[in-house]
Amino acid sequence: MKFEKFPGEPEDNPYKPPESEESSKEQEGDFELREQMQELDEKAQVVGEQLENVDVDKLDKEGFNKVTDAIDRVMGGVYILAGSAAGGFAWAAMEEDPMGAIQKTVAAAVIVLGVSVGVKGFDQLIRGSKSFFEELTPEQKAELKS
Amino acid sequence: MNSVKMTKEELQSLAQKIREGKATDEEKILFVSELGVELDKASEILSKAQKDN
């Protein structure tokens, strides 16, 4: 169906000028960032499942430190990204709903990045981390604090 | 983009830059890719531990 044009409305131009190089670069960056985020979420899903199923005692000291350091770096980065407002809110809500609080922080971090991607993998990473840290012996917990 | 191993401080400083809206797309990508490297590292160790179970 073809609609009549309003007076003064420009004619359709089939020969649109090419998008500016700047705008094209921006789109390329957005696309790559979204792809990277999706990939990161998939990795978070895998690590979350592994954390849930691993026997902590099977990790040697070096492996244990590397795993906890990696989780610390990822979640630490996410917290900074979410910002003090979201982080503060998350900590305030931590006692009532710890899982929800962390999930909201991850969601806030993704908004800061400016990409709209699902973060189901991160939900799994949070569940897995919780289960992993709950399994630690008092000695292992003490070592983490030292 | 190839990821380079960043120190914890560099990673946090980059997160802060993104937070403040001062980072380029390339820096955002680097940050996300760096988090991916951390997860890969954890996954490799956990996978080995699971196989040893």
Q: Does some domain include residue A3? A: no
Within 10 angstroms of residue A64's Cβ, the number of other Cβ atoms is 19
**Distance from C-alpha of A99 to C-alpha of A119, rounded to nearest angstrom:** 14
Q: What ipTM did this prediction achieve?
A: 0.86
Contact across the interface for B47 and A67, Cβ inside 8 Å = no
Q: Does some domain include residue A123? A: yes
pLDDT tens string, chain A, 146 residues long: the values are: 455 555 555 555 555 555 566 666 667 767 888 888 889 889 999 999 999 999 888 888 888 888 988 888 888 888 777 775 555 555 555 556 666 666 777 777 777 777 777 778 888 888 888 888 888 888 877 776 66
Q: Does some domain include residue A7? A: no
Give how far Cα B1 sits from Cα of A45, A127, B16, B23, Å: 23, 30, 21, 16
Contact across the interface for B50 and A54, Cβ inside 8 Å = yes
> Residues B39, A43: contact at Cβ < 8 Å?
yes
Q: Does some domain include residue A118? A: yes
The candidate with the shortest Cα–Cα distance to A136, out of A43, A67, A77, is: A67
Structural domain boundaries, residue A90: 82-146
Q: Does some domain include residue A34? A: no
Burial of A54 (0-12, 13-18, 19+ CB in 10 A): buried
Task: Point out the residue among B12, B34, B49 whose CB comes nearest to the CB of A54.
Answer: B49
Tokens, residue A62: 């070096």
* pLDDT tens string A110-144: 777 777 777 788 888 888 888 888 888 888 777 76
pTM > 0.80: yes or no: no
Tokens, residue B12: 């946090």
The nearest CA of chain B is from the CA of A131 a distance in Å of 14
Q: Please count the structural domains in chain A.
A: 1
From B53, which residue of chain A is nearest by alpha-carbon distance? A58
Identify the residue whose tokens are 């040893």: B52
Q: Does some domain include residue A111? A: yes
Q: Does some domain include residue A70? A: no
Q: Does some domain include residue A140? A: yes
**Distance from C-alpha of B46 to C-alpha of B39, rounded to nearest angstrom:** 10
Can you say whether the dihedral through the CA atoms of A52, A57, A59, A61 is positive or negative? positive
User: Would an 8 Å CB–CB cutoff place A70 in contact with chain B?
Assistant: yes
